[in-house]
Structure 1
Amino acid sequence: MISILPASEEERRALSEQAGFAGPVECLVASDGRKRLGSVLYRSRGEVMELLAAQAEDPRLLDGLLRAALNAALSAGARTAWCGQEPLFPALRVLGFSEPEEGRSAAMQADISGIFARGCPSRGKAGENRNE
Protein backbone atom coordinates (compact mmCIF):
# COMPACT_ATOMS: atom_id res chain seq x y z
CA MET A 1 0.00 0.00 0.00
CA ILE A 2 1.29 3.46 -0.91
CA SER A 3 1.62 5.99 1.89
CA ILE A 4 2.69 9.64 2.01
CA LEU A 5 4.26 10.51 5.35
CA PRO A 6 6.79 12.95 6.81
CA ALA A 7 10.33 11.81 6.09
CA SER A 8 12.57 10.68 8.93
CA GLU A 9 15.06 13.32 10.05
CA GLU A 10 17.87 11.41 8.36
CA GLU A 11 15.95 11.06 5.09
CA ARG A 12 14.82 14.72 5.19
CA ARG A 13 18.39 15.89 5.66
CA ALA A 14 19.71 13.65 2.86
CA LEU A 15 17.00 14.68 0.36
CA SER A 16 17.44 18.36 1.27
CA GLU A 17 21.22 18.21 0.78
CA GLN A 18 20.83 16.22 -2.44
CA ALA A 19 18.51 18.92 -3.82
CA GLY A 20 20.87 21.69 -2.66
CA PHE A 21 18.66 23.29 -0.01
CA ALA A 22 19.91 24.44 3.38
CA GLY A 23 18.03 25.65 6.41
CA PRO A 24 14.62 24.55 7.62
CA VAL A 25 12.95 22.32 5.04
CA GLU A 26 9.94 20.04 5.38
CA CYS A 27 9.84 16.76 3.50
CA LEU A 28 7.12 14.23 2.70
CA VAL A 29 7.94 10.85 1.19
CA ALA A 30 5.72 8.51 -0.81
CA SER A 31 6.57 4.86 -0.32
CA ASP A 32 5.26 1.38 -0.88
CA GLY A 33 6.60 -0.58 2.05
CA ARG A 34 10.32 0.16 2.13
CA LYS A 35 10.49 1.35 -1.49
CA ARG A 36 10.55 5.14 -1.89
CA LEU A 37 8.38 6.23 -4.82
CA GLY A 38 8.75 10.00 -4.58
CA SER A 39 9.26 13.01 -2.34
CA VAL A 40 8.44 16.68 -1.96
CA LEU A 41 10.47 19.40 -0.20
CA TYR A 42 8.89 22.65 0.94
CA ARG A 43 9.20 25.54 3.40
CA SER A 44 6.44 27.31 5.29
CA ARG A 45 6.98 30.79 6.69
CA GLY A 46 3.87 32.20 8.28
CA GLU A 47 1.18 32.48 5.63
CA VAL A 48 3.49 31.61 2.71
CA MET A 49 4.61 28.20 1.56
CA GLU A 50 7.37 27.61 -1.00
CA LEU A 51 7.54 24.37 -2.97
CA LEU A 52 11.24 23.63 -3.39
CA ALA A 53 11.40 20.29 -5.17
CA ALA A 54 9.28 17.25 -5.89
CA GLN A 55 9.80 14.06 -7.81
CA ALA A 56 7.86 10.92 -8.62
CA GLU A 57 7.82 8.82 -11.77
CA ASP A 58 4.03 8.57 -11.81
CA PRO A 59 2.30 11.94 -12.47
CA ARG A 60 -0.63 10.91 -10.24
CA LEU A 61 1.74 10.26 -7.36
CA LEU A 62 3.44 13.62 -7.97
CA ASP A 63 -0.01 15.24 -7.81
CA GLY A 64 -0.66 13.45 -4.51
CA LEU A 65 2.67 14.53 -3.04
CA LEU A 66 2.10 18.16 -4.01
CA ARG A 67 -1.43 18.09 -2.55
CA ALA A 68 -0.15 16.49 0.67
CA ALA A 69 2.50 19.22 1.06
CA LEU A 70 -0.06 21.95 0.34
CA ASN A 71 -2.44 20.43 2.91
CA ALA A 72 0.31 20.22 5.55
CA ALA A 73 1.25 23.86 4.94
CA LEU A 74 -2.40 24.95 5.04
CA SER A 75 -2.85 23.13 8.36
CA ALA A 76 0.21 24.99 9.68
CA GLY A 77 -1.29 28.37 8.73
CA ALA A 78 -0.06 28.99 5.18
CA ARG A 79 -2.52 30.63 2.80
CA THR A 80 -0.43 31.16 -0.33
CA ALA A 81 1.94 28.79 -2.12
CA TRP A 82 4.54 29.64 -4.71
CA CYS A 83 7.14 27.75 -6.71
CA GLY A 84 9.95 28.93 -8.95
CA GLN A 85 11.02 25.44 -10.05
CA GLU A 86 10.11 25.26 -13.76
CA PRO A 87 10.19 21.44 -13.93
CA LEU A 88 7.18 21.45 -11.57
CA PHE A 89 5.14 23.99 -13.58
CA PRO A 90 3.15 21.40 -15.62
CA ALA A 91 1.98 19.63 -12.45
CA LEU A 92 1.23 22.97 -10.76
CA ARG A 93 -0.89 24.12 -13.71
CA VAL A 94 -3.10 21.05 -13.23
CA LEU A 95 -3.50 21.99 -9.55
CA GLY A 96 -4.58 25.53 -10.44
CA PHE A 97 -1.44 27.60 -9.85
CA SER A 98 -1.35 30.85 -11.82
CA GLU A 99 1.30 31.44 -14.45
CA PRO A 100 4.31 33.64 -13.66
CA GLU A 101 3.68 37.29 -14.48
CA GLU A 102 5.92 38.29 -17.37
CA GLY A 103 8.61 40.70 -16.26
CA ARG A 104 7.56 40.51 -12.60
CA SER A 105 8.16 37.00 -11.33
CA ALA A 106 9.46 33.65 -12.50
CA ALA A 107 7.29 31.82 -9.98
CA MET A 108 3.86 30.26 -10.14
CA GLN A 109 1.56 30.91 -7.19
CA ALA A 110 -1.81 29.92 -5.81
CA ASP A 111 -4.25 30.39 -2.98
CA ILE A 112 -4.01 27.04 -1.17
CA SER A 113 -7.66 26.96 -0.08
CA GLY A 114 -8.66 27.66 -3.68
CA ILE A 115 -6.77 24.58 -4.84
CA PHE A 116 -8.70 22.35 -2.46
CA ALA A 117 -12.03 24.05 -3.19
CA ARG A 118 -11.47 23.20 -6.85
CA GLY A 119 -11.13 19.47 -6.18
CA CYS A 120 -9.27 16.92 -8.25
CA PRO A 121 -9.46 17.10 -12.04
CA SER A 122 -10.97 14.25 -14.03
CA ARG A 123 -8.23 12.24 -15.62
CA GLY A 124 -8.10 10.08 -18.68
CA LYS A 125 -4.70 8.51 -19.28
CA ALA A 126 -2.13 9.02 -16.54
CA GLY A 127 -1.37 12.73 -16.32
CA GLU A 128 -3.97 13.81 -18.89
CA ASN A 129 -6.26 16.51 -17.52
CA ARG A 130 -9.73 16.33 -19.04
CA ASN A 131 -10.90 19.58 -17.39
CA GLU A 132 -8.71 21.75 -19.62
Structure 2
Amino acid sequence: MQQRDMQLLQEMGLTHWQIRKPECFPAWAQSVIDLPDSCQLLLVTPDEMDEHDAWLFGNILRSMKLSPEQALTLPPHALSELGEHHLTWCWFAGCQGVEPSDCQILHSASLRQMHDHPASKKALWQQICAFND
Protein backbone atom coordinates (compact mmCIF):
# COMPACT_ATOMS: atom_id res chain seq x y z
CA MET A 1 0.00 0.00 0.00
CA GLN A 2 1.39 3.36 -0.94
CA GLN A 3 1.89 6.16 1.57
CA ARG A 4 -0.82 8.27 -0.10
CA ASP A 5 -3.35 5.44 0.30
CA MET A 6 -2.46 5.00 3.96
CA GLN A 7 -2.81 8.74 4.54
CA LEU A 8 -6.28 8.74 2.96
CA LEU A 9 -7.39 5.88 5.22
CA GLN A 10 -6.10 7.72 8.28
CA GLU A 11 -7.89 10.92 7.23
CA MET A 12 -11.13 8.92 7.05
CA GLY A 13 -10.49 7.73 10.62
CA LEU A 14 -9.55 4.18 9.58
CA THR A 15 -6.53 3.18 11.61
CA HIS A 16 -7.00 -0.58 11.29
CA TRP A 17 -8.19 -2.56 8.31
CA GLN A 18 -8.13 -6.09 6.98
CA ILE A 19 -7.98 -7.23 3.37
CA ARG A 20 -10.83 -9.62 2.59
CA LYS A 21 -9.10 -11.31 -0.34
CA PRO A 22 -5.36 -11.34 0.40
CA GLU A 23 -4.77 -13.66 -2.57
CA CYS A 24 -5.46 -10.64 -4.79
CA PHE A 25 -2.44 -8.87 -3.26
CA PRO A 26 0.43 -11.38 -3.25
CA ALA A 27 3.06 -8.69 -2.66
CA TRP A 28 1.33 -7.41 0.45
CA ALA A 29 2.12 -9.32 3.62
CA GLN A 30 0.10 -8.82 6.78
CA SER A 31 2.23 -7.54 9.62
CA VAL A 32 2.87 -9.86 12.53
CA ILE A 33 3.73 -8.69 16.02
CA ASP A 34 6.43 -10.91 17.45
CA LEU A 35 6.88 -10.50 21.17
CA PRO A 36 10.35 -10.96 22.62
CA ASP A 37 10.90 -14.20 24.52
CA SER A 38 11.35 -12.15 27.70
CA CYS A 39 7.74 -10.90 27.55
CA GLN A 40 5.73 -12.72 30.22
CA LEU A 41 2.75 -10.37 30.52
CA LEU A 42 0.81 -8.59 27.80
CA LEU A 43 -1.39 -5.72 28.96
CA VAL A 44 -4.21 -5.16 26.48
CA THR A 45 -5.76 -1.74 26.92
CA PRO A 46 -7.21 0.96 24.68
CA ASP A 47 -5.77 3.66 26.96
CA GLU A 48 -2.33 5.23 26.95
CA MET A 49 -0.71 5.21 30.38
CA ASP A 50 0.08 8.39 32.21
CA GLU A 51 2.57 8.52 35.11
CA HIS A 52 -0.03 7.53 37.67
CA ASP A 53 -1.14 4.51 35.58
CA ALA A 54 2.49 3.47 35.02
CA TRP A 55 3.11 3.63 38.78
CA LEU A 56 0.11 1.37 39.48
CA PHE A 57 1.09 -0.99 36.66
CA GLY A 58 4.62 -1.24 38.08
CA ASN A 59 3.26 -2.07 41.54
CA ILE A 60 1.01 -4.78 40.12
CA LEU A 61 3.94 -6.23 38.15
CA ARG A 62 6.08 -6.31 41.32
CA SER A 63 3.32 -8.13 43.18
CA MET A 64 3.37 -10.75 40.40
CA LYS A 65 7.18 -10.97 40.70
CA LEU A 66 7.63 -9.48 37.21
CA SER A 67 9.76 -6.56 36.06
CA PRO A 68 8.66 -3.85 33.61
CA GLU A 69 11.03 -5.40 31.05
CA GLN A 70 8.90 -8.56 31.14
CA ALA A 71 5.69 -6.74 30.16
CA LEU A 72 4.40 -5.05 27.02
CA THR A 73 1.24 -3.17 26.15
CA LEU A 74 -0.93 -3.52 23.04
CA PRO A 75 -4.25 -1.98 22.00
CA PRO A 76 -7.09 -4.52 21.56
CA HIS A 77 -7.19 -4.21 17.75
CA ALA A 78 -3.54 -5.32 17.47
CA LEU A 79 -4.20 -8.75 19.02
CA SER A 80 -5.18 -10.14 15.61
CA GLU A 81 -1.58 -9.50 14.50
CA LEU A 82 0.01 -11.30 17.44
CA GLY A 83 2.44 -13.98 16.32
CA GLU A 84 4.15 -16.70 18.30
CA HIS A 85 4.61 -15.86 21.94
CA HIS A 86 5.83 -17.20 25.27
CA LEU A 87 3.34 -15.31 27.42
CA THR A 88 2.43 -16.43 30.89
CA TRP A 89 -0.24 -13.75 31.36
CA CYS A 90 -2.56 -11.71 29.15
CA TRP A 91 -4.36 -8.95 31.04
CA PHE A 92 -7.35 -7.16 29.49
CA ALA A 93 -7.74 -3.82 31.30
CA GLY A 94 -10.92 -1.97 30.45
CA CYS A 95 -11.57 -3.90 27.23
CA GLN A 96 -12.30 -7.25 25.65
CA GLY A 97 -10.51 -8.95 22.79
CA VAL A 98 -9.40 -12.18 21.20
CA GLU A 99 -7.67 -14.09 23.95
CA PRO A 100 -4.26 -15.54 23.05
CA SER A 101 -3.89 -19.24 23.68
CA ASP A 102 -1.56 -20.93 26.14
CA CYS A 103 -1.54 -18.22 28.79
CA GLN A 104 -3.47 -17.17 31.86
CA ILE A 105 -6.13 -14.53 31.16
CA LEU A 106 -6.96 -11.66 33.50
CA HIS A 107 -9.81 -9.14 33.16
CA SER A 108 -10.09 -5.87 35.07
CA ALA A 109 -11.27 -2.32 34.94
CA SER A 110 -8.94 0.13 33.25
CA LEU A 111 -5.90 1.28 35.21
CA ARG A 112 -7.43 4.77 35.48
CA GLN A 113 -10.56 3.38 37.10
CA MET A 114 -8.57 1.19 39.46
CA HIS A 115 -6.97 4.24 41.11
CA ASP A 116 -10.26 5.20 42.73
CA HIS A 117 -11.84 1.76 43.12
CA PRO A 118 -10.08 -0.53 45.58
CA ALA A 119 -12.64 -3.26 44.81
CA SER A 120 -11.33 -3.40 41.23
CA LYS A 121 -7.77 -3.91 42.46
CA LYS A 122 -8.96 -6.58 44.87
CA ALA A 123 -10.83 -8.42 42.10
CA LEU A 124 -7.69 -8.40 39.92
CA TRP A 125 -5.57 -9.67 42.82
CA GLN A 126 -8.06 -12.49 43.45
CA GLN A 127 -7.76 -13.57 39.80
CA ILE A 128 -3.95 -13.56 40.04
CA CYS A 129 -4.01 -15.58 43.26
CA ALA A 130 -6.48 -18.10 41.79
CA PHE A 131 -3.94 -18.96 39.07
CA ASN A 132 -1.14 -19.33 41.61
CA ASP A 133 -3.00 -21.81 43.84
TM range (shorter): under 0.3
Larger RCO: 1 or 2 (CA < 8 Å, sep 6+): 2
In terms of Rg, which structure is larger?
Answer: 2
Which has more helix, going by share of residues? 2
TM-score, normalising length: structure 1: 0.26
TM-score, normalising length: structure 2: 0.26
